[in-house]
Amino acid sequence: MALSVPDSSACGADVDESSVPRRSIHEAAAAEALRFKWLESEKAGRDLGEGAIRTWVVLHWRNFVRDRWVEHLEARVFWVELDRGDFGLLLRAVRDSALFDEVVQKLKRGDENLEILCWSHDARLSTDEVWRVVRILEAFDINNHRIECQVLNRLSQAG
């Protein structure tokens, strides 16, 4: 089972990026990091400065980007840093098995390829099913969707 993704013109579910918000991951992340800094500074009773921003990056950047990627795949928000061809991918993909849905749920939770492959082994999936998991992971190509964090650069440029 390869992940079958027909071109959007041949698909019943039209994916129109102009009908959803168009945003920047870096701008949204900077806003989140500033919100985190404010909250943490309020708790501490003093301005924690750049250290709080760095803490946000360490604690939250990876999941923040993953959540934005899922929004992009589900065509809820068009994130300009992500591939245009991936926009609405989950709406166009032929979901032909519970296995596909399980892998997607694991990706949404933040699992990485290795964790999902280990799960497929631990769950004692058949060899064919493990190869389906591999093909699903290849189709999503999560490792090529890594985005370098630019929060500190953006905030220092903003003043």
Q: What's 94's DSSP letter? A: -
User: CA-CA distance, 138 to 135, in Å (whole number)?
Assistant: 5
User: What local confidence, expressed as pLDDT, does residue 13 receive?
Assistant: 55
Helix ranges (H only) for 45-147 are: 49-73, 89-92, 98-109, 113-122, 127-140
Neighbours of 56 (CB within 10 A): 23
Q: What's 79's DSSP letter? A: E
User: What local confidence, expressed as pLDDT, does residue 35 receive?
Assistant: 97
User: What local confidence, expressed as pLDDT, does residue 38 receive?
Assistant: 97
Tens digit of pLDDT at every position of the chain (159 positions): 344 444 443 344 567 788 899 999 999 999 999 999 999 999 999 999 999 999 999 999 999 999 999 999 999 999 999 999 899 988 887 676 789 999 999 999 989 999 999 999 999 999 999 999 999 999 888 888 788 888 888 787 776
Sorted by where each begins, the domain ranges of the chain are 20-158
User: What local confidence, expressed as pLDDT, does residue 10 receive?
Assistant: 38
Q: 128-134 — which CB contacts under 8 Å span 24+ positions? A: 129/99, 132/1, 132/97, 132/99, 132/100, 133/99, 133/103
**What residues are paired with 59 via a beta bridge?**
none
Cβ–Cβ < 8 Å for 15, 88:
yes
**Which two three-digit tokens encode residue 100?**
């596909």
Cβ–Cβ < 8 Å for 27, 150:
no
